Amino acid sequence: MSEHKDFPVQSIDPDDIGHNSSNNPSFEQILEARMSRRGLLKGGFALMATSMFGMGLTACSDSNSPAATTATTSGLTLSFNAVAKSVADALTVPAGYTATVLLATGDPINTSVPRYRNDGTDTDFDNRSGDHHDGMHYFGMNVAGTAPDYSNSNRGLLCLNHEVAEDLGFMHANGPTDYGTANTNARPTAEIDKEVAAHGVSVVEVVKSGSTYQVNRYSNYNRRITGATVMDISGPAAYDDLMVTAYSTSGSQTRGTVNNCGNGYTPWGTYLTCEENWAGYFYRRNDAARTAKENTSLNRYGVSGSSSGRYNWSRPGVADTAEGVYARWNAGITGATAANDYRNVPNTFGWIVEIDPFDIGSTPRKRTALGRFGHEGAWPAKAVAGKPVVFYMGDDSRNEYIYKFVSDALWDAADANGGLFAGDKYMDAGKLYVAKFNADGTGTWELLSMSNPTVAAYATYTFADEADVVINARLAADAVGATKMDRPEWGAVNPLNGEVYMTLTNNSQRGGSVARPLDAANPRYYADAKGVTTNRGNVNGHIIRWKEAGNDHAATAFTWDIYLFGSEAAAAASVNLSSLTADNDFSSPDGLWFSHAAPGLLWVQTDDGAYTDQTNCMMLAAIPGSVGDGGSVSVANTENVPSNNNAPQTVVTRMGKTATTTTLRRFLVGPKDCEITGIAESPDGKAIFVNIQHPGENSTSVTDPNQFTSHWPDGGNARPRSATVVITRNDGGKIAV
Ligand code: FEO
Ligand code: CA
Ligand code: CA
């Protein structure tokens, strides 16, 4: 979405503006319950005879680049020809591959609603695919459809996020109704209801059908989780005073999940959806009546009073329901106590939410032990018997942090089908850490807990208890001097060696006028290659990676390097540090996924606004090496660096081995104005599911097809829509290798 495109600067959405004003140096200045869950499984299975969504999309690259034949340390070779950059309104995959649309915005997920007309008159997103497809995971299921079978590629449950409702308003006949400027004016509640329901998660059963997959609309497992679904609050913040609202005076529940961006999954068969730019959904009022601590917290998380929220859900101007269905987006003080209004409702968002796809009646749980911030996703280390379960997480906003959670409970493989009850065991108690990257290539994980004296003694915000620490994890991370990063997006753990990768998509404020000084982990400041003078900072992003001390994911020390720098191939050598070429140059890395079927294969997806004059967003396949395989590099920032006394600055860092077309190659280019985000694979590695989000997002009318910048995937004069595509190889082989 546009709010994720840090560049060009003139189109920055408030959601991505950093709120980290802390002064910490960005760099040294430098189960018994398993049974009950599975007992609920039922198998309804009646496959559609034909796909409703079967718009096949095959395209061939015209690149002349050869297929690689050189083996790498992983033993893998990339076996496809690179796809050329493109600005066409088409999805392009390599020769010999086929992409098929599986599920697009509004498509029915069951048989209760008619086919999506896509003219703004459709209703009932509770029974349709939501909008803006994002993070995603495939859970294999047994042939009978009665239990998980994580190895089954023929039948499974696909869980996918719906980050937002498209901003221009394609889901409404004429866009959102103009509600004027007065704060008391109404938005039609039918429009609000539709937008709320288009957020969240879809769970759909997918079945292999011939050479591709289709959605089984008759499956009992299909369901929507939306911005209105009741959620349990679990972990240290549950029942805390800061979580009390009129809806849940005990502070144990809230309604809805929104801005579900990246994702995760657990070793016990559940899906994790992650709440990213949630702060913009709420309207903050009546600051004078709040405590100083409350205002410090709201400021640090960017909950604003400058508008009535991204969608203006909080000011319907109509009589609300008794349950406060609309008032709940108003974070102002309107009642006598917190139990009478929604002043605390922002505290009930910003979490990792666990969903059991196999238990259709289960209530999602917000896992507060993993901290509250702008969660991109949560990526597990491989579960090892007798060791803690570990999740890596990024906070996607400018100058925010990288975190990890280490469970208190030690992994027991008997919990592999444990559902939410295993979640209670492994995710409700543990240690939350934030990362500090040192200039010498070492790093440390700093504990966020009252047991850390630096947190307990923090002067800017006096933490009351452990609940306060997880609710205000950003402030606790400020206290310990965490390293401010260039917008952490997705992470991934290399199954071959346990090394952890995380994309840092870009940062217009790195070294900029709202300056974060350059540091070894965020070392670049330069001008957009097109010379757009407002586009400076870390324009194209990079991917950092680290190795935990002793290969122990619970360790508190690590070593790191920068795996890859994004760049245009034609950029100066001081920018194109990874030696990217026409076959593999990219900008603004975002999605990341290490294949499990082909260990050592890494997928990189982009969400870019800097290189889009020459190419739409893309996905690349990579076969990376390991931390330290490239040595030291001096990054010559030839531009003046405002945060560093306005002089050019050289930063010494460590960089991975430079890329070649043998180790990095473009696999896919999306349609116009989309981002590529979200990837899942079948366990046999012969199919990947990829999400195409917001094609045509720079359209300027919802009714005049001539002003749509994309008509993908339906073609003709159709309104563009987001979609999941399935990509298979025509010879039936594994994808990419
Ligand atoms: Fe929703 Fe960080 O991308
Ligand atoms: Ca992004
Ligand atoms: Ca993202």
pLDDT reported for residue 722: 98
40 or 328, greater pLDDT: 328
pLDDT reported for residue 644: 79
In the reported structure, the alpha carbon of residue 66 is separated from the centroid of ligand 1 by a whole-number distance in angstroms of 34
pLDDT band for position 733 (50/70/90)? very high
To the nearest whole percent, how much of the chain has pLDDT over 70?
A: 89
Question: For residue 506, which ligand has an atom nearest its CA?
Answer: 2
Asked if residues 395 and 433 have their Cβ atoms less than 8 Å apart, the reply is no
Average pLDDT over residues 187-210: 96
Q: Which atom of ligand 1 is the closest one to the Cα of 394? A: 2
In the reported structure, the alpha carbon of residue 605 is separated from the centroid of ligand 2 by a whole-number distance in angstroms of 10
pLDDT reported for residue 57: 43
395 lines ligand 1 (CB under 6 A): no
The amino acid sitting at 537 is G
Q: Which atom of ligand 1 is the closest one to the Cα of 489? A: 2
Q: What domain range includes position 591?
A: 1-17+68-81+484-669
673 lines ligand 1 (CB under 6 A): no
Q: Residue 324: phi, psi to the nearest 5?
A: 70, 40
Please give the tally of structural domains in the chain: 1
Min mean pLDDT across 282-286, 551-555, 719-723 is at 282-286
76 located within any domain: yes
Give yes or no for residue 543 having a pLDDT over 90: yes
pLDDT band for position 262 (50/70/90)? very high
Min mean pLDDT across 65-79, 113-127, 179-193 is at 65-79
Give yes or no for residue 512 having a pLDDT over 70: yes
281: its two tokens: 């959904």
In the reported structure, the alpha carbon of residue 273 is separated from the centroid of ligand 1 by a whole-number distance in angstroms of 12
How far apart are the two ends of the chain, measured CA to CA in Å? 31
Q: To the nearest whole number, what is the mean pLDDT of the chain?
A: 90
Question: For residue 589, which ligand has an atom nearest its CA?
Answer: 2
Q: Which atom of ligand 1 is the closest one to the Cα of 4? A: 3
pLDDT band for position 6 (50/70/90)? very low
Average pLDDT over residues 530-551: 90
Q: Which atom of ligand 1 is the closest one to the Cα of 261? A: 1
In the reported structure, the alpha carbon of residue 164 is separated from the centroid of ligand 2 by a whole-number distance in angstroms of 13
210 located within any domain: no
Give yes or no for residue 723 having a pLDDT over 60: yes
400 lines ligand 1 (CB under 6 A): no
Local structure of residue 146 (DSSP, 8 states): S
- Rg (C-alpha) for the chain, rounded Å, is 24
209 or 318, greater pLDDT: 209
298 located within any domain: no
In the reported structure, the alpha carbon of residue 485 is separated from the centroid of ligand 2 by a whole-number distance in angstroms of 14
Local structure of residue 100 (DSSP, 8 states): E
pLDDT reported for residue 20: 77
Asked if residues 226 and 199 have their Cβ atoms less than 8 Å apart, the reply is yes
168 located within any domain: no
DSSP class per residue in 322-372: TT-TTGGGB-S--SSSGGGS-TTGGGGSSSEEEE-TT-TTPPPEEEGGG--
163 lines ligand 1 (CB under 6 A): yes
Q: Which atom of ligand 1 is the closest one to the Cα of 607? A: 3
600: its two tokens: 């050592």
Q: Which atom of ligand 1 is the closest one to the Cα of 276? A: 1
Give yes or no for residue 112 having a pLDDT over 90: yes
Asked if residues 331 and 303 have their Cβ atoms less than 8 Å apart, the reply is yes
261 lines ligand 1 (CB under 6 A): yes
CA-closest candidate to residue 616, choices 629, 630, 606: 606
Give yes or no for residue 378 having a pLDDT over 90: yes
Interval 345-360: pLDDT, tens: 999 999 999 999 999 9
699 located within any domain: no
Interval 471-497: pLDDT, tens: 999 999 999 999 999 999 999 999 999
Asked if residues 506 and 535 have their Cβ atoms less than 8 Å apart, the reply is no
Question: For residue 261, which ligand has an atom nearest its CA?
Answer: 1
Local structure of residue 686 (DSSP, 8 states): S
In the reported structure, the alpha carbon of residue 677 is separated from the centroid of ligand 1 by a whole-number distance in angstroms of 9
Q: Which atom of ligand 1 is the closest one to the Cα of 1? A: 1
Write the CB contacts of 252 (distance below 8 Å, at least 6 apart in sequence).
Answer: 232, 233, 238, 239, 243
Give yes or no for residue 309 having a pLDDT over 90: no
489 lines ligand 1 (CB under 6 A): yes
pLDDT band for position 531 (50/70/90)? low
Question: For residue 163, which ligand has an atom nearest its CA?
Answer: 1
Distance between CA 362 and CA 38 in Å, rounded? 12
376 lines ligand 1 (CB under 6 A): yes
pLDDT reported for residue 182: 72
Distance between CA 516 and CA 514 in Å, rounded? 7
CA-closest candidate to residue 567, choices 541, 545, 591, 590: 541
Average pLDDT over residues 156-175: 97
Interval 13-64: pLDDT, tens: 333 446 676 755 432 232 233 333 433 333 333 333 222 222 334 333 333 3
Q: Which atom of ligand 1 is the closest one to the Cα of 677? A: 3
Asked if residues 221 and 59 have their Cβ atoms less than 8 Å apart, the reply is no
To the nearest whole percent, how much of the chain has pLDDT over 90?
A: 82
Average pLDDT over residues 445-449: 99
Q: Which helix (H) or strand (E) holds 37?
A: helix 32-39
**Strand intervals (E) in 197-326:** 200-209, 212-215, 223-225, 230-234, 253-255, 260-265, 271-275
Interval 629-641: pLDDT, tens: 999 999 999 988 9
In the reported structure, the alpha carbon of residue 505 is separated from the centroid of ligand 2 by a whole-number distance in angstroms of 6
6 lines ligand 1 (CB under 6 A): no
Nearest-CA residue for ligand 1 atom 1 is: 261
279 located within any domain: no
In the reported structure, the alpha carbon of residue 357 is separated from the centroid of ligand 3 by a whole-number distance in angstroms of 22
675 lines ligand 1 (CB under 6 A): no
**Strand intervals (E) in 131-265:** 133-140, 155-162, 200-209, 212-215, 223-225, 230-234, 253-255, 260-265
679 located within any domain: no
In the reported structure, the alpha carbon of residue 283 is separated from the centroid of ligand 3 by a whole-number distance in angstroms of 24
425 located within any domain: no
pLDDT reported for residue 34: 31
276 lines ligand 1 (CB under 6 A): yes
Average pLDDT over residues 323-337: 93
pLDDT reported for residue 532: 61
pLDDT reported for residue 19: 67
Give CA angle at 627 (626, 631), nearest 5°: 110
Write the CB contacts of 99 (distance below 8 Å, at least 6 apart in sequence).
Answer: 56, 57, 58, 59, 91, 93, 668, 690, 725, 726, 727
Query: Residue 701 CB: number of other CB atoms within 10 A?
Result: 13
In the reported structure, the alpha carbon of residue 348 is separated from the centroid of ligand 2 by a whole-number distance in angstroms of 23
In the reported structure, the alpha carbon of residue 520 is separated from the centroid of ligand 2 by a whole-number distance in angstroms of 22
Local structure of residue 310 (DSSP, 8 states): T
Give yes or no for residue 183 having a pLDDT over 90: no
Neighbours of ion ligand 3 (CB under 5 A): 261, 489, 590
pLDDT reported for residue 336: 96
pLDDT reported for residue 73: 61
Sheet holding 230-234, edge to edge: 253-255, 230-234, 365-367, 352-355, 271-275, 260-265
Distance between CA 244 and CA 467 in Å, rounded? 13
